[in-house]
Amino acid sequence: MAETKNHEQGLHTRDNAKPLVVAISSRALFDLDESHSVFESKGLEAYARYQISHENEFLKPGEAFQLVRKLLALNAAKLNHQGVEVILVSRNSADSGLRIFNSIEHHGLDIQRAVFTNGESPFRYMKAIGTDLFLSGHADDVRQALQAGFASAMVLPGAQNRPGGEQLRIAFDGDAVLFSDEAEKVYQAEGLEAFSRQEKQRAETPLPDGPFRPLMQALQNIQSAYPIENNPIRTALVTARSAPAHKRVILTLRKWGIRIDEALFLGGKPKGPFLAAFGADIFFDDQQVHCESAREHVATGHVPNGVRNLQLHE
C-alpha cells in the first residue's frame, strides 16, 4: 500500500488512487445487543454457541448501517473516482461470524472481505487493510488506531436508521477531529479569552492536521467526480467555535484545498438539533458532551483524541 507516515503530525497520508477503505466492526454495522448480552453474562464460548444456533436469523441494522449502505452505493455510478471498499473486522471467530455474513448477504451489502480475530483486537490489521476509517464498538481498539494515525471512532448507541434521502451526509467537528487539538490545549490551559486571542492572531496560520483530514480529502476526491449541484455526498463542519475563531478554520480548509459544503459555528450551543436539521448519516466529535447531544438525533462516532480525552484517562 502506498501509504507513508507523516512524522510531524503522527498521521497517515493516503494514496488517492486506492479506494476509500472503511473497516467496520460487526457491532457498528448490525444490532448485536442481544447476542452481546450473552457474551457479557456467559462468556465467549456461550456467545459463539448462541451465534451458531441463530445463524439463519438475520441481524437488524445497527447505528452505522445506513452510512455503509450509502458509501457502497457510490460504486454503482461507475464514474471516474477511486470507489469505496468496506471490510468487516470482527472479534468473532469465522465460525460464529457466519451469522454476520448471512446478514450482510440478506441486506444486499457488497462486503466481500473480512477479518475475524476470535476475541483478539483487530487493530494490528489496520495498516494491511489500508484503512481510511475504522468504526468500532470497542473503545480500546479505536484508541490504538487513533494513536497509530488512523481516522477512528467508537460508534455510540442511539439514533439510527432514520428514513432519509439517498445523499450521503457526513458531519465533522473541528478541533481534535479535522484539525489537531493545538487550539483546544490553549483553551483548556488558559481559557476562552486566550484561545480567542490566539486564534485571531494566528488566523493566517493553518491549523495542523487532525486524524480525519485524510478521510475528508478522500471524500472530496469522490465528490469531485460529480457536479456540485447534484452530488451524492454532502459534508458539514459543526463546531463549537464562533467569531473571531472561525476565520482560522475557514482559511485552513482553503489552504488544504478542501471544500466543506456547510459550516456551522455554534458558539457552544448543543449540536444535536443542528445535526438533525442537516440530516447527518454520522457525526464525528472528540467531546463526550457533544456526542451525547448528537446521538439523540443522528448516528454518532466518538473520537477519543486530544487533550479533552487525555484528561479523562489520567
Higher per-residue confidence, 8 vs 25? 25
- pLDDT on residue 162: 62
The amino acid occupying position 50 is Y
- pLDDT on residue 37: 84
Above 70 in pLDDT, residue 161? Answer: no
- pLDDT on residue 289: 94
Higher per-residue confidence, 32 vs 104? 104
pLDDT band at 297 (very low <50, low <70, confident <90, very high): very high
What mean pLDDT value characterizes the chain? 88
All three cell numbers of 294? 448528537
Above 80 in pLDDT, residue 159? Answer: no
Q: What is the mean pLDDT of residues 120-125?
A: 90
pLDDT band at 40 (very low <50, low <70, confident <90, very high): confident
- pLDDT on residue 160: 60
Higher per-residue confidence, 56 vs 48? 56
Cis peptide before 244 (omega within 30 of 0): yes
pLDDT band at 1 (very low <50, low <70, confident <90, very high): very low
Q: Is the entire prediction scored with pTM above 0.85?
A: yes
- pLDDT on residue 189: 86
Q: What is the mean pLDDT of residues 96-108?
A: 94
Reported as a single tens digit per residue, the pLDDT across 173-184 is 999 999 999 888
pLDDT band at 2 (very low <50, low <70, confident <90, very high): very low
Question: Percent of the chain beyond pLDDT 70?
Answer: 91
Reported as a single tens digit per residue, the pLDDT across 53-75 is 999 999 999 999 999 999 999 99
- pLDDT on residue 32: 87
Out of 194-198, 266-270, 280-284, which region has the weakest mean confidence (pLDDT)?
A: 194-198
- pLDDT on residue 220: 94
Give me the active site residues, please. 173
Burial class (CB in 10 A: 0-12, 13-18, 19+), 288: middle
Q: What is the mean pLDDT of residues 143-171?
A: 87
Above 50 in pLDDT, residue 6? Answer: no
DSSP 72-132: HHGGGG--SS--EEEEEEESS-TTTTHHHHHHHHHTT----EEEE-TTS-SGGGHHHHT-S
| Cα–Cα dist 293/300, whole Å | 10
Q: What are phi and psi of 49, to 5 degrees?
A: -60, -40
